[in-house]
Amino acid sequence: MAGGGPFQARLRYVSTGAASLLAVALVLFLAGGPSGSSSLAVAKSEQLDAVPRTSSLEEEDDLDIPLKVNYGALSPEEKEYLADPAKYAEEHPEEALKFHLKRKAERQAALREEYKKEREEMLERLSETNRARNVIIAILATIVIITVLIDMAAGFVRESCGEFSKPVVDILFMELAILGCIALLVFMSVKTGIPEEISTQIFGTPSELVEMFDTAHVLMFLIVVLFVGMTALILWRFASFCEDWEGYELTAIEAVKQGKSLKDIQSLTFGSPPRPLPEEIKNYCTMRHNFLNPAMRVSRHALDSSFRFSDYLRDCTTHTFKEIVEVEPETWGVVMVLIIIARVYMMIPHEDVKLAVFAGLGVVLLGVMIVTRNKLLEIYMTLMRPNDADSEDNLPYYQQRHAEIRRASRGESKEKTWFDKLCNGDREPNAHQALFWGGASGPKLVLHIIRTCTFLASVYFSLFVFRFGGDLTRGIHTMVLMVIAVICPAIMMYHYVPQVIKLYILTTSIEMMRNKHIIHEVEHKIRRHRRMFVHRLVHTLKGYARRILKADRERVSRDIETARMQKIKETFDMFEVDCPSRPGTRYIPAHEVENFFMQVGLQMDAHEMSDLVQELGDGLDGILFEPTVDFLGGFSSSQLTDQMIDAVFVDIDRDNKNPHKKFDNEITEDEFCAKLSQINAFFGTKGHNGGAEQLIDWLDWAVITHKINVASKTEEIDGSDGPEAHVTRVFTPQTFRALLKHGSNV
């Protein structure tokens, strides 16, 4: 919302487009030719506009250019050679060749100096021409256009990505900014002339090293761009994994509502005819149960039943990707080792052998990723394995096995290997860390493998394009080798890397590796959302109860005396504007709504803000004064009264479509949710973070946390695969009153 309303966004893009068109027109006008000038001071310089636009060094070399070559002091042998070169060559062929090459090198050096001097003079004269001025202006205008386009693209990407991918996108932009700094350093080093001098000393020409610098920089840029692109592709695939976790979360919550134990979950079925749940859903339910109710040796902090384990995994995914895209010094160290090995690789004489060795590197990357996937899958299955039935303690299986191994090795004096000392030092890894390679440093080692293989894949593809991109026409055997060279790392990036990252997240975010910082963030987010939701619920139910009781709607007076409402009124005055479609109406436009609510002490997400604009704006692109102040008044006013709660209960019970169930002194959870969605469309919105899902989450939290004793009954409903059994909670007047009294106390 803070980015501006739709009109402002459209105005910005229209103005940017118009500026770009004007800049393009300016470029075309200036590049069309020199403009007239009556100044006599530039008359001579404008004659250079007629100089041909193409010239070559070879054409200049054909001319008989008088050169002043300083050959230095001549030795007697050299004087003899100059007197009669042919005769001297017959008598002393090696010495004659040496003198010839020496004088040729000195003449070429003098020719380069002459060319450099003539070039500088030509550029100096050319800089005073209209042609040069027009080209400079055209280049500057082109740079401005490209900058605007890139800025618009970057803004679009940042606005399009959500909370899940935004931190990763910021880091990727930072990596590209580092590349810009490298480009600046390369440019400045070339301008100093030092690379040209070094190139002259090494290669005999001033441009060879500069071209190598440019090629290396372009290669580095391509590597990082490919790394960014492949990371974005994997992140896009992970969005579907997170959606799957959301679905598994709902299944797990439903199982808990029905009182299912872990053993019952293993035998759950769905659909018609009944089919067993997939193993992945069963494992997710097991992970969630063990996470919320950990063993004493895992954590002393049992989490609330409303904790969204799927949100926790989603935040862990974002945290993991942030670590992956930050290329660490260890990864650059591996690259340096490969650069040293590449020197040996350059000595291979045959091109097909080089391509075969290069393809072998892709096979090695694929093999490393397969081995890592198998290791993480083994750890995952070990963590999911239930403890032994004859076990007296209530410890997970992996802890039981670790304890048995330690008891068996107490009498043995086994010396640590150098690898164990490097990874663990003097400390002993816990039961969870012992499952990884390297013990306590195992998770970091696996993350380093993932990051390095992903980065090396981008290096691999970049080098493939640079080194073998033009070899397609060499023959069918070369094409076969190129296909093999591409297919292995492509399979690794598309299939294995997402699997490995997913298993890494699952195996390093549960049990004894719970991320306490992310847990705290998720709990804080849940409490904030619940507080916001409860106030919306209370506000809706109050209005509903007033209509039932036919009471006058309580409007907030403009002269209200309470300090809280006075502050709300003053804050509204700061942001309000005259409504364009309803003159005289007090109104805050949509792009200022977020700032207004932050000023009154409310923080909310973008989707919550959008819902409030629809609810408090009466169809306008903003919020109105009276509905907003009435809504905010619920934050400081008293809770629902018993009379209001009873009136809501009786009205819902009376509206039952089944005539036999009218006034039967009970309402179901489904009837309550359906009535709320009729009153306020927000409570009927489906999908993740929709009002319907938040309402069910709140009901689960209120019933379980406050231990409200509600009954359940099973109803048959029409499902996608035929009739399905549906369990719903039943509220009596007493339990309904307890629900709204305790559940609204946040």
Between 746 and 730, residue with greater pLDDT: 730
- pLDDT score of 449: 92
Write out pLDDT tens, residues 342-378: 888 888 888 888 888 888 999 999 999 999 999 999 9
Domain of residue 492: give its range.
336-405+418-514
Instruction: Classify residue 67: in a domain, yes or no.
Output: no
Instruction: Classify residue 385: in a domain, yes or no.
Output: yes
- Tell me: pLDDT of 313 over 90: yes
Q: Which stretch of 61-75, 99-113, 425-439 has the lowest confidence by average pLDDT?
A: 61-75
Q: Is residue 88 within 8 Å of 75, Cβ to Cβ?
A: no
> 149: pLDDT confidence band, cut at 50, 70 and 90?
confident
> 490: pLDDT confidence band, cut at 50, 70 and 90?
very high
Write out pLDDT tens, residues 425-434: 777 888 898 8
H/E stretch holding 231: helix 208-257
Q: What share of the chain is helix, strand, coil (3-state, %, to 5)?
A: 70, 5, 25
Between 663 and 205, residue with greater pLDDT: 205
**What's the whole-number mean pLDDT along residues 648-656?**
82
Between 709 and 390, residue with greater pLDDT: 709
> 614: pLDDT confidence band, cut at 50, 70 and 90?
confident
Write out pLDDT tens, residues 240-281: 888 899 888 888 887 877 777 777 777 777 766 677 888 888
Q: Is residue 320 within 8 Å of 504, Cβ to Cβ?
A: yes
Between 552 and 220, residue with greater pLDDT: 220
- Tell me: pLDDT of 545 over 60: yes
Q: Outline where 129-165 has alpha helix (H).
A: 130-160
Q: What are 596's two structure tokens?
A: 């207004």
Instruction: Classify residue 161: in a domain, yes or no.
Output: no
Which of 40-54, 457-471, 482-496 ranks highest by mean pLDDT?
482-496
- pLDDT score of 45: 41
Number of domain units in the chain: 1
- pLDDT score of 198: 83
Q: What angle do CA 544, 546, 547 make, to 5 degrees?
A: 65
Nearest to 638 by CA among 527, 744, 530: 744
Instruction: Classify residue 744: in a domain, yes or no.
Output: no
- Tell me: pLDDT of 55 over 60: no
**What's the whole-number mean pLDDT along residues 127-147?**
83
The secondary structure of 41-66 as a DSSP string is TTHHHHGGGGS-S---HHHHHHS---
User: Rounded CA gap, 58 and 55, in Å?
Assistant: 9
**What's the whole-number mean pLDDT along residues 574-593?**
81
- Tell me: pLDDT of 619 over 70: yes
Instruction: Classify residue 23: in a domain, yes or no.
Output: no
Q: What are 671's two structure tokens?
A: 């009837």
> 27: pLDDT confidence band, cut at 50, 70 and 90?
very low
**What's the whole-number mean pLDDT along residues 644-659?**
80
User: Rounded CA gap, 690 and 700, in Å?
Assistant: 16
> 659: pLDDT confidence band, cut at 50, 70 and 90?
low
According to DSSP, the residues that pair with 723 across neighbouring strands are 718
User: Rounded CA gap, 471 and 34, in Å?
Assistant: 45
Between 314 and 61, residue with greater pLDDT: 314
Instruction: Classify residue 357: in a domain, yes or no.
Output: yes
Instruction: Classify residue 363: in a domain, yes or no.
Output: yes
- pLDDT score of 367: 94
- pLDDT score of 534: 86
> 440: pLDDT confidence band, cut at 50, 70 and 90?
confident
Instruction: Classify residue 609: in a domain, yes or no.
Output: no
Between 563 and 99, residue with greater pLDDT: 99
Write out pLDDT tens, residues 165-193: 777 777 777 777 777 777 777 777 777 77
Which of 25-29, 70-74, 295-299 ranks highest by mean pLDDT?
70-74
Q: What are 371's two structure tokens?
A: 């081995």
Nearest to 455 by CA among 172, 165, 161, 150: 172
**What's the whole-number mean pLDDT along residues 661-680?**
82
The secondary structure of 425-481 as a DSSP string is TTSPP-TTGGGSTTGGGHHHHHHHHHHHHHHHHHHHHHHHHHHHTT-GGG-HHHHHH
- pLDDT score of 660: 57
Write out pLDDT tens, residues 387-411: 765 555 667 888 888 888 888 777 6
Write out pLDDT tens, residues 502-522: 999 999 998 888 888 999 888
pTM equals: 0.70
- pLDDT score of 553: 43
